[in-house]
Amino acid sequence: MGSLIEMRSSRFRCSLEAVLEHLDARQLSWCFMAPPPVRFTTQGPVRGPCSHKHKNLESAADCLGEDEALCFTRGKHTDREIFVLEGPSRRKLTPAEAQAVQEHLRRQSAGR
Ligand SMILES: [Zn+2]
């Protein structure tokens, strides 16, 4: 019985090693660490930041739309754009995300 358990545990160890062998360090850290929270914010050179940490792209798009509406009453456009906050780093929207924002805003303005 003892040898069977030993055999099983050694086989388990082997298969675990085989799994680990096929993962690189980056994948491992992805497995063991919680992914960084993704947040969205808006900022422009003139308008400055909205200082929010929006939990989703739609919420950031709404915020951008409100700022645009405010600027539009003064005959101007907002220069803010949406940034994606991924942990300590930030990035601009991908073309697909930017398109989703435009479609969201178009739907919102059509609903008004
Ligand atoms: Zn905002």
The ranges assigned to domains in the chain are: 2-32, 38-111
Between the CA of 12 and the centroid of ligand 1 the distance, in Å, is 50
Between the CA of 44 and the centroid of ligand 1 the distance, in Å, is 12
How many angstroms separate the CA atoms of 98 and 66, rounded? 17
Q: In 3D, which of 59, 49, 71 has the Cα closest to residue 100?
A: 59
What pLDDT is recorded for position 19? 63
Instruction: Over range 60-81, report the average pLDDT.
Output: 97
Q: What is the pTM of this model?
A: 0.66
What pLDDT is recorded for position 70? 96
What are the residues whose beta carbon lies below 5 Å from ligand 1 (ion)? Answer: 50, 52, 63
The secondary structure of 52-88, three-state, reads CCECCHHHHHHHHHHHHHHHHCCCCCCCCEEEEEECC
Instruction: Over range 51-57, report the average pLDDT.
Output: 96
Between the CA of 94 and the centroid of ligand 1 the distance, in Å, is 19
Supply the DSSP symbol for 47. T
Between the CA of 35 and the centroid of ligand 1 the distance, in Å, is 23
Comparing 8-12, 78-82, 88-92, the range with the smallest average pLDDT is: 8-12
Between the CA of 82 and the centroid of ligand 1 the distance, in Å, is 9
